[in-house]
Chains A and B, each alone.
Chain A
Amino acid sequence: MYAQLVKSEGAKSREEMTPEEIAFQERIDRGEKIEPKEWMPEGYRKTLIRQIGQHAHSEIVGQLPEGNWITRAPTLERKQILLAKVQDEAGHGLYLYSAAETLGVSRDELLAALHSGKMKYSSIFNYPTLNWADIGAVGWLVDGAAIMNQVPLQRTSFGPYSRAMIRICKEESFHQRQGYDIMMKMCAGTPEQKAMAQDALNRFWYPALMMFGPSDKDSVHSAQSMAWKIKINTNDELRQKFVDQTVPQARYLGLTVPDENLTWNEDKGGHDFSEPDWSEFFEVIAGNGPCNAERLNARVKAWDDGAWFREGLMAHAGKAEARRRAAQVAAE
């Protein structure tokens, strides 16, 4: 997901918990929201910072693969829709950094961790957008997968995160629809357009499945995050839901999902499907995906090249403040 492999801190059994921790867990169990000024276990705070930070980074790095096609969007209307979408993603980054800041970590600190490679962003954004249908596929599959994860997170226990998710989810459904709309146009278009659409699905299918992360059936981290309600479903549950939702949509487009083992399983009421290549996933997470270096370099360059800009604004604010004070003194 936008937050993958987030390590959870301090998984404790009930016997190991302090009375404070027990009271905290009971509040969560009752469905109460935890607000920033309230007491929380250090592990809860740290895990949330990791998860929200990674989610925020994913939103801003996620501008890049789609931004890659803004200047080449094939109609004025598509250009406007894509601009609006990329703008939304930057806005999502902003809400999420703000949510993380309520936990005592600044946006600059989080960005420094991203730039140094200490913090990650979603593996999906390390794949290239090579033809126009990729912009359709990203909206349809990537935003589609994000929605799967983020709709339940609207009920997450941490108030600011939950509220950020509610705002974000409203915009994500527009993102997915515009993506699917591009795919419909491409699939109803010329043979070349249809081929682009199939090519995009072929390349994005498994990376989209990887977004949910490897199976976490036996993960202690996941168990703790689920107890704290900062993770609501298991990775496998969400992946299954995503496949079941997406397969009929692909069929409607007349596209073939690139999986020979894909079949409907009547007993479980869902599809059987092939797992993505998890060794590829771990390579991408480790920095060896097709676009890792480019994505990170683009963000670092934007930050470094913009240093004079940010410093200029700070200096001006300082001068303006000094002038205001001087005027005050003169008036007295």
Chain B
Amino acid sequence: MPSLPDVMTPDVERLAAQAPRGAPTASHIDPHLAGPLVEFLMRTGDNALILGHRVSQWCGHSPALEEDIALANQALDLVGQCQLWLGLAGEVEGRGRSADHLAYRRDAAAFRNVLLVELPNGDFGQTLMRQFLFDAFHIELLRALTRSADPRVAEIAAKAQKEVAYHLERSADLVIRLGDGTDESRARMQAALTYLFPYTGEMMHDDAVDRALADAGIAPLPSSLRADWDRTVREVLAEATLTHPGQTYQHGIAGQGGGKRGVHTEHLGFILAEMQFLQRAYPDATW
């Protein structure tokens, strides 16, 4: 069986189920788990990469100098985390692909980030709301990963957790202040929430990859993070005087869709066209 990332198919569930019957070998890991682990590391790394890309688009264009600085710093954290996650993904995969190779030479269908992080920046409120909804999940994921049975995973998570704790502190604070600000700022934050909320469920939706890693104690079941995510979101929205959207349709869960399975929005192709341009146009160059 080919290694998972090689297969440009959304049908990861089936592949993960097959993984125990002869997955790619890699050092330090039960060979049966290497496939799901690579998949998981790409999900986590791609979330950081694509969100970092979106955030970096604000550099020099944000509403205040302090925000320019904070966003550049946040993008820097996320790209740094992506480098660690994708670096480990390449190592576990054992086919000699580096973090750069994974970031710059995969096409959209091989990307595993959730749809939420690739959505357009919109106004600054939409960017902040997206950040908050993701940070509230990200921190719970990383906290759980610090207890991973795989020490390499635990180590990266411990480093990233410190950075993301600060991201959440900042994004939650701004959501509160802008929600409970002027009529206009509240309206903008509410509109952003309404638009983005249907993309949050995917983060906490389990599939076969997640179950395989949870059984091995390598990563938490995403659904096990929901209660804490939900509490953070409810508390912050209440303080922000924003209305929780309640139960809404959730993208990327039903059918064949969803970023975790490589079926993205139309936006990701453009992100990659821009991000990968030099590596694609000059494949023989080193930079």
Contact = CB atoms under 8 A, between A and B. Distances in A.
A319 to B, nearest CB: 6
Contact of A71 (B53, B73, B124, B282): B53
B185 A315 contact: yes
Interface residues of A, number: 49
B61 A312 contact: no
B285 A190 contact: yes
Interface of B (DSSP majority class)? helix
A156 B72 CA distance: 30
Interface in B80-104: 80, 82-83, 86, 99-100, 103-104
B124 A90 contact: no
A311 B63 CA distance: 11
A93 B83 contact: no
A193 B69 CA distance: 31
B177 A312 contact: yes
Interface in B39-87: 49, 53, 56-57, 59-69, 72-73, 75-76, 79-80, 82-83, 86
Interface of A (DSSP majority class)? helix
A39 interface: no
Interface stretch (B112-120, B225-233, B270-278): B270-278
Contacts of A90: 60, 65, 68-69, 72
A211 interface: no
A59 B60 CA distance: 10
Instruction: Give 6 nearest A-B pairs by CB, closest first.
Output: A306-B63, A312-B185, A312-B181, A63-B60, A87-B72, A74-B287
16 contacts: A70-B56, A72-B275, A74-B287, A76-B82, A76-B99, A76-B103, A80-B76, A83-B59, A83-B79, A87-B73, A97-B65, A301-B61, A308-B184, A311-B181, A312-B177, A314-B181
Interface of A: 60, 63-64, 67, 70-72, 74-80, 83-84, 86-87, 90-91, 93-94, 97, 107, 132, 182, 185, 189-190, 192-193, 298, 301-303, 305-317, 319
